[in-house]
């Protein structure tokens, strides 16, 4: 009888202890897609924007000539190598990775489908975050409350001429990418920890 009474008393105390622990624990606030997107975008807005690398293939070279961003200077005897010079208009829009103003076009064959060069826009192009999905709990070092979310990161091409935007949409260019963001609970609010 004494053992049964002790066991019942122990059970009541254990339940009361668990209840007190649960009552003292606050549940983490919800992290919505809109909140996550706002934090990611704030990070992008605080980071200085840079020029966008535009991959220019054979089609893009022709489009750049038509748009008068560069002009042919020299054609080589093989018929498909050439040198192009940036026009004043082109020099306001893009720069060559090695500097200078002459594009040395050196494909392996005419209309080479894999040959390209990379130019960088002079104007900076900020990043935009959108389509935040898959918000879920995560385990991160040094924190007990963490969440992760997937989203799409896109380059904005606002303010550049249509012809250059068209070249930037040609194959080889990547204007958006899937990314992952980690968030940690700081007091009673979520904050962005990292972007991968």
pLDDT in tens, 151-195: 999 999 988 999 999 999 999 999 999 999 999 998 889 999 999
Same domain, 131 and 191: yes
Residues 183, 97, single domain; the answer is no
CA 188 to chain centre: 28
Domain ranges, residue 134: 28-48+126-159+171-195
Residue 8 within a domain: no
Q: CA-to-CA distance for 67 and 156, rounded, in angstroms?
A: 21
Percent of the chain with pLDDT over 90: 78
Q: What is the model's pLDDT at position 141?
A: 85
Q: By the 8 A CB rule, do 153 and 177 touch?
A: yes
Q: Using one digit for the tens of pLDDT, what is the confidence trace for 114-141? A: 999 999 999 999 999 999 999 999 988 8
Same domain, 83 and 114: yes
Does residue 189 share a domain with residue 94? no
Domain presence at residue 178: yes
Write down the pTM of the prediction.
Answer: 0.75
Q: What is the mean pLDDT of residues 99-109?
A: 96
Reduced to 3 DSSP states, what percent helix, strand and coil does the chain have, rounded to the nearest 5?
Answer: 30, 35, 35
CA angle at 171 for the pair 169 and 172, rounded to the nearest 5°: 105
Q: Does the structure show a pLDDT above 50 at 16?
A: no
Pairing verdict, β 53-56 and 117-121 = antiparallel
Shared-domain flag, residues 44 and 133: yes
Instruction: Please answer whether residues 189 and 29 qualify as being in contact, where contact means their C-beta atoms are separated by less than 8 angstroms.
Output: yes
**Count of domains forming the chain:** 2
Asked, for residue 14, whether it belongs to a domain, the answer is no
Element spanning 73, H or E? strand 70-75
Burial 98-111, CB ≥16 within 10 A → b, else e: eeeeebebebeeee
Q: Is the pLDDT of residue 2 over 80?
A: no
Query: How many residues are recorded in the chain?
Result: 196
Q: Which two tokens stand for residue 184?
A: 């940690």
- 154 in the same domain as 68: no
pLDDT of residue 8: 54
Angle at 118 between CA 114 and CA 122, to 5 degrees: 155
Q: Which two tokens stand for residue 164?
A: 């250059």
**φ/ψ of residue 9, rounded to 5:** -60, -45
């Amino acid at each position: 009888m004494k053992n049964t009474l002790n066991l019942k008393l122990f059970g009541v105390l254990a339940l009361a202890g668990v209840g007190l622990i649960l009552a003292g624990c606050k549940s983490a606030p919800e992290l919505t897609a809109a909140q996550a997107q706002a934090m990611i975008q704030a990070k992008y807005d605080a980071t200085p924007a840079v020029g966008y690398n535009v991959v220019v293939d054979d089609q893009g070279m022709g489009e750049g000539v038509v748009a008068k961003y560069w002009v042919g200077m020299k054609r080589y005897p093989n018929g498909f190598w050439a040198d192009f010079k940036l026009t004043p208009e082109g020099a306001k829009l893009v720069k060559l990775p090695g500097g200078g103003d002459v594009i040395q076009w050196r494909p392996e064959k005419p209309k080479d489908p894999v040959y390209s060069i990379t130019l960088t826009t002079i104007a900076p192009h900020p990043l935009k975050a959108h389509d935040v999905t898959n918000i879920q709990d995560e385990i991160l070092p040094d924190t007990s409350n963490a969440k992760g979310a997937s989203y799409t990161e896109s380059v904005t091409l606002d303010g550049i001429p249509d012809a250059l935007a068209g070249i930037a949409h040609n194959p080889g260019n990547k204007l958006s990418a899937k990314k992952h963001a980690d968030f940690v609970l700081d007091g009673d609010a979520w904050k962005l920890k990292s972007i991968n």
